[in-house]
Structure 1
Amino acid sequence: MADDRQRRSDGQSERVTFRKPAYNHAADVWALIALCPQLDRNSLYCELLLCTHFADTCTVAERAGEVVGWLSAYRPPSEPSTLFVWQIAVHPTVRNTGVGKGLIVSALTRPCCKSVTHIKATVALTNKASNSLFATLARDLGAPIRQTLWFDRDAHFKGRYESEHMIAIGPIKLGSI
């Protein structure tokens, strides 16, 4: 699909393509996350489950056969009209080129997300890249964005991690992307 392709912003002819992951992407996804120190690294087995059991709502971005982007996302059973974004990993060589947004848009435009009207994610206030991505996405979708404390540093993380705020975008207008 034309919507699943993107030229790199530096004008090179290599394209980034977006698609559902398969089991053979799990090790590459796991390695990519290791290049993103701000992300928690799950087990390789967890990535394998995400690439298979949750493939419909997850996305890989590839350039020249290499995984350069990863979105883990799912639709919570209690909120089927919501796409919850768990992690976004973008290879350092393609950051700030729209890959993060492309990962989410690819998932949203699949048949399994036809009834999705909201996007949610938890993000630390200091994570400028993710906060900027979600603000841009909300703007491009013509949707309001709200942010509230969700997981408290002390109450939920026993001081090991920063507090996470729930970002809620919606209702979204898929036709605007």
Structure 2
Amino acid sequence: MTGDRQDLFLPSVGQSEPVIFRKPTHSHVADVWALIGLCPQLDRNTFYCELLLCTHFADTCAIAERSGEVVGWLSAYRPPTEPSTLFVWQIAVHPQMRNAGVGTGLILSALNRPCCESVTHIKATVAANNEASNLFFATLARDLGAPIRQAPWFDRDVHFKGRYESEYMTAIGPIRLNST
């Protein structure tokens, strides 16, 4: 799909307004910042970092809006050394919109843009005890008909100095978008 606005689905939670997925702009920064604040499991980046993500990385990031309100946020990028990979940094979904397909819609919104036409893999780092994220990525891999692998990546003591749990590189792919 091309363009900034994409009506991909209606939420399955009985709401009548569609969720719209699109690229973020500088005008979405405050809304993204507020949404992340509603997701205590996520680390909050600086406001300036969110501004850079909404502008410099807008092609690979996405917002989900319902009735003009930002209800979902994907921060993602293509690593310079792995241009065929979309690395998912964070996914934030409004608590009232969870389990309605918003997270998957955010990723598909980014993947369906021209800048991601050569993407064949999705990667993210996830702690072993983060059941929600691990289930999300396993379901995404299944829906994309792609294998999923995990391997140790960031160590609790070596990389995080004991402040965070160890994280595993979750890799999905190869993916084929026309199979979704």
Q: Structure 2-normalised TM-score?
A: 0.95
Of 87, 109, 124, which aligns to 1:84?
A: 87
2:159 maps to 1:159? no
Matched residue, 2:139: 136
* Superposition RMSD in Å: 1.2
Q: Is the 8 A contact 1:57 1:72 kept in 2?
A: yes
Matched residue, 2:76: 73
Q: Is the 8 A contact 2:7 2:18 kept in 1?
A: no
Q: Is the 8 A contact 2:156 2:165 kept in 1?
A: yes
Q: Structure 1-normalised TM-score?
A: 0.97
Ranges in structure 2 where 5+ consecutive residues have no aligned partner: none
Distance in 2 (CA, whole Å) between partners of 1:51 and 1:105 is 17
Matched residue, 2:41: 38
After the TM superposition, which segments of 4 or more aligned residues of structure 1 sit over 2 Å from their partners? 1-5
What are the equivalent positions in structure 2 for 1:83-102 lying under 5 Å apart? 83-102=86-105
Distance in 1 (CA, whole Å) between partners of 2:148 and 2:139 is 10
Matched residue, 1:48: 51
Matched residue, 1:110: 113
Amino acid at match of 2:14: G
Amino acid at match of 1:96: N
Count residues with an aligned counterpart. 177
2:142 maps to 1:148? no
Residue 5 (structure 1) shift: 2.8
Percent sequence identity over aligned pairs: 77
What do residues 85-140 of structure 1 show as CA deviations (whole Å, max 9, x unaligned)?
Answer: 00000000100011011100110010000000000000111111111111111111
Ranges in structure 1 where 5+ consecutive residues have no aligned partner: none
Amino acid at match of 2:117: K
Q: Is the 8 A contact 1:4 1:106 kept in 2?
A: no
